[in-house]
Amino acid sequence: MEHNIVKAEIITIGDEILYGQITDTNSQWIGLELANIGILVVHKKSVGDNKKAILEGLSEAERRADLILLTGGLGPTKDDITKNALAEYFGVGMKFHEEILEHIRELFRQRNREHLLEFNRTQAYLPENAIPISNHLGTAPGMWFEKGNKVFISMPGVPHEMKKMMTDAVLPKIIEKFRPPVIYHHFIRTIGIAESQLSAQIAEWESQLPSHIKLAYLPRLGQVKLRLTATGSDKSTLQRECEILTEKLLPLIQDYVFAIGEKEIQEVIGEMLKSRGQMVAIAESCTGGYVSHLFTQNPGSSAYFKGSVVAYHNEVKQHLLGVRAETLSAYGAVSEETAREMAVGVAQKLSADFGISITGIAGPEGGTPEKPVGTVWIACVGPSGEIKTQKLTLSKDRMMNIQLSANGVLNLLRQVILSEQNKKTLSF
């Protein structure tokens, strides 16, 4: 099953992007939209407000891609040089468009600005070979160019103007021009298994994938996302193929899969708890409330998230969570024993079905030879009263340790919820 893939390149223009003064969200959004219509982005590039850099970027992109999309540099000020660079690249002059000037006048009238300055009028001049693309939200029109079998599209850098232009005009025109194949992405989310181990465990399954379906490993802290990318002519057929392949994969890695799709681990746990009418409470020390934030950023989390105690100081562990002074004295705040008592204490204190806890040394200081930076203990207690604990040996980076600890305790909670459900099923 062979299909001609349309290759695209995105060029973002502006010194402010290179200086780090603004974040380039345009290329990410464009990449997603192109993928949704079957266009493969092969390269992304950012260049400054420099004609030579823009010309070099265009030349390189033309060699690599069938479709080149540019954003930025279309304003009326002297540093906006994209139009002139494009005219030079194509070897053409500039052409005045009366309808564009009238559109700018109308926008000014709507905004109670009656007088156009000369540099506003210059926006009605486009390279002679440009096909204008209407900008309903701003004064800078987009432009469509064709050179042989290549297409160049220039759009404003203002995100809401670019998105409106892409959605209304550019994407339909791209589909009409290229008739791209369908590209379907299917995601399997895993947690608690390293990329190398995961790869080894599913190697035989991966080797049997059909040629039109490719597998990618997308690791991040504590998780690995598997992405199946299928290319064909019918989305429903590709979707069903990926579902069948996933059914064959799951028995190999069932313990590590927490979602099929794009949901985050805390969303999945929330749904598990809500469906059972149960709630969780959290005791956090070294993560300082980060796990609670992960839960509460989701709308409706009050249905399953009871509350939390950020027990950073030992006095809080003792007086609010009921951790015994003898435990802290004998084993220390970073210990399995303290984590157990924190989990039980917060579940009892907040009358929750599940209690989870984290205590550790996030760093970069505070470690000892016996308990170096990155030493973390997590615990979880469920309705049956059984307590599960786990020691994490992490890095020397503070934020990385916080995020890895959060992933670890969320996965432990997921496992305990499933374990409690199994116990309930077996009891009938």
Q: By mean pLDDT, which of 100-104, 108-112, 137-141, 237-241 is the weakest? A: 108-112
Write the secondary structure of 289-324 as one string of H (helix), E (strand) and C (coil).
CHHHHHHHCCCCHHHCEEEEEECCCHHHHHHCCCCC
For residues 362 and 357, what is the distance between their CA atoms, to the nearest angstrom?
15
> How many Å is the Cα radius of gyration of the chain?
28
For residues 333 and 312, what is the distance between their CA atoms, to the nearest angstrom?
10
Identity of the residue numbered 408: G
Contact 270, 256 (CB under 8 A): no
**CA distances (Å), origin 115, targets 24, 80, 104, 112, 121:** 33, 21, 11, 9, 11
Identity of the residue numbered 377: W
Give the model's pLDDT for residue 427. Answer: 55
N-term to C-term CA, the chain: 50
Q: How confident is the model at residue 428 (pLDDT cuts 50, 70, 90)?
A: very low
Q: How confident is the model at residue 1 (pLDDT cuts 50, 70, 90)?
A: very low
Contact 191, 258 (CB under 8 A): yes
Residue identified by tokens 């806890």 is: 357
Quick one: how many helices (H) and strands (E) in the chain? 17, 17
Q: How confident is the model at residue 2 (pLDDT cuts 50, 70, 90)?
A: very low
Domains of the chain and CATH, by start: 6-178 (3.40.980.10), 182-260 (3.30.70.2860), 265-426 (3.90.950.20)
Identity of the residue numbered 3: H
Q: What is the mean pLDDT of residues 205-233?
A: 95
Q: What is the mean pLDDT of residues 79-106?
A: 93
Give the model's pLDDT for residue 4. Answer: 75
Using a pLDDT cut of 70, give the percent of the chain over it.
Answer: 98
The SS3 of residue 76 is coil
For residues 10 and 25, what is the distance between their CA atoms, to the nearest angstrom?
12
Q: How many CB atoms lie within 10 A of CB 231?
A: 21
Phi/psi for 145 (5° steps) reads -125, 145
**Minimal CA–CA distance to 279: which of 251, 246, 242, 308?**
308
* Whether the predicted pLDDT of 383 surpasses 80: yes
Mean pLDDT of the chain: 94
Give the model's pLDDT for residue 78. Answer: 78
Using a pLDDT cut of 90, give the percent of the chain over it.
Answer: 89
Percent helix, strand and coil across the chain, each rounded to 5?
45, 25, 30
The SS3 of residue 278 is coil
* Whether the predicted pLDDT of 87 surpasses 60: yes
Contacts of 203 (CB under 8 A, 6+ apart): none
Give the model's pLDDT for residue 3. Answer: 57
Q: What is the mean pLDDT of residues 262-288?
A: 97
Max Cα distance, the chain (Å): 84
Q: What is the mean pLDDT of residues 399-428?
A: 89
Give the model's pLDDT for residue 114. Answer: 67
Read off the pTM: 0.81
Identity of the residue numbered 193: I
For residues 164 and 176, what is the distance between their CA atoms, to the nearest angstrom?
18
**Alpha-carbon dihedral sign for residues 103, 106, 110, 111:** positive
**Minimal CA–CA distance to 33: which of 136, 183, 243?**
183
For residues 70 and 60, what is the distance between their CA atoms, to the nearest angstrom?
13
**Minimal CA–CA distance to 231: which of 4, 44, 32?**
4
Give the model's pLDDT for residue 104. Answer: 87
